[in-house]
Amino acid sequence: MKHFSLSSRERIKKRNDFELIFSTGRIIYSSDKVLRAHYIIEKKAEESGVKIAPVVSKKLGSAVWRNKVKRLIKESYRLNKEILTEVSLRKSVLLKIVFSANILSEERNKILSYKEIMPHVFEIMTKIASRL
């Protein structure tokens, strides 16, 4: 696994995984509730590591804006993923996280930048790492 990449093996793609995470997973918010993360820890998994997926509801804005938010979340995770990968590999668990926008919307946040999203993703990642 490369340090600063986000391969297809590190992404959640299956519908069953999403349903499992949303139905039985835990929820954690950033401090000012800009982002929310649903996560699940699988202790008896075949492989250890972290899998993520960004999700933005259609109600929050246009497709261009939603895709930008997802790109910013993935980029923020990609640059800081060592926080979670080291802990999950050391404890031999598979961590699945779905990041979603909580109070972000295109009406309120027309122009978004990496500097606005990254601290919230980083905060959620450190909270999850402390709970592993």
Mean pLDDT by 10 residues, the chain (132 residues): 74 94 95 93 88 94 94 93 90 94 88 91 94 86
pLDDT recorded at residue 1:
53
Structure confidence at residue 132 (pLDDT): 84
Predicted pLDDT of residue 3: 65
Could you list the residue range(s) of the whole structural domain that residue 104 is in? 8-131
Query: Is the residue at 3 inside a domain?
Result: no
Instruction: Please give the model's pTM, rounded to 2 decimal places.
Output: 0.90
Count the domains in the chain. Answer: 1
Mean of per-residue pLDDT scores for the chain = 91
pLDDT at 48: 87
What is the domain-level CATH number for residue 65? Answer: 3.30.230.10
- ∠58-55-37 over CA atoms, to 5°? 130
Q: Is the residue at 79 inside a domain? A: yes
Residues 45 and 95 sit within 8 Å (Cβ to Cβ): no
Answer whether residue 98 is part of any domain.
yes
Q: Are 103 and 33 in contact (CB under 8 A)?
A: yes
